[in-house]
Amino acid sequence: MAADTHLDGMHSRRIDAGSIALNIREAGSGPLMLFFHGITANSVVFTPLMARLADRFTTIAVDQRGHGHSDKPESGYDADSYARDIADLIRALDRGPAILVGHSLGSRNAVTAAAHHPDLVRSVVAIDFTPYIETEALDALEARVNAGAQVFDRPEDVKAYLTARYPNLPAAAIKIRAESGFHAVDAGLVPLASPTAMAQTVTGLRSDLTGAYREVTRPVLIVRGADSKLVSADALAKTSRLRADLPVVVVPDADHYVNEMAPDTTFKAITNFIDA
């Protein structure tokens, strides 16, 4: 295990989760709450949300496989592999069952983990990823992901690229992504996320998720940004018909990146769900 470090008042370390070493950031005390980011991102994007929850929970954000400072194997980027990492991590932490909060890719992985390992999961907050996402939306996502595999000369170039890619994100969220998601190589600055892993992961996002949603028995809260271009209103409606028992929160004035655009509203949705 690597030496511990401290970032933004949060404790960061790598932990052996069996078949993979995962980098985690943690703060707070209480019941275990795990956070799983979207594709190409990393654990640091959850810092504002974790700060609001750390007084009640042991909050741990995870660099998922292929991302951030976690291991980046050559293969294993399907939903089952990501979900197995979640289960192995909960066992390694020995603090479960855990509340899982996932955004996008992390949402898919959290629901899959809850469906396959209900004994390890208390509940799931699934942010802006559901079954029935249209092919056109996934095509656009794949193009954006593949376009990110480039070299930047300066930090200013990284920020300019991210600002163009995420036009609705607040400047503070862009700053977090720019400062946490890239590292220096001889040629310049490149993403921490492995291009090979991202290509496999974005292909895997097209896999059928209806089985996991149909089978999951733990409580699941579905959160959608009202302006999301990935999860349409129609995709959300079909998901609700599949599982009419799952509560839904639609966050106004937010797109796909709900937790980064509206951390206060996301915090309230999570605590209302947990306390209900």
Catalytic residues: 104, 128, 256
Q: List b or e across 131-168, with b for residues whose CB sees 16 or more CB atoms inside 10 angstroms.
A: bbbeeebeeebbeebeebeeebeeeeebbebbeeebee
Distance, in Å, from the CA atom of 179 to the CA atom of 158, rounded to the nearest integer, reads 9
Distance, in Å, from the CA atom of 40 to the CA atom of 158, rounded to the nearest integer, reads 14
Question: Residue 252, exposed/middle/buried by CB under 10 A (0-12, 13-18, 19+)?
Answer: exposed
Angle at 140 between CA 248 and CA 34, to 5 degrees: 45
**Signed CA dihedral, 137, 253, 266, 161: sign only:** positive
**Signed CA dihedral, 149, 151, 155, 160: sign only:** negative
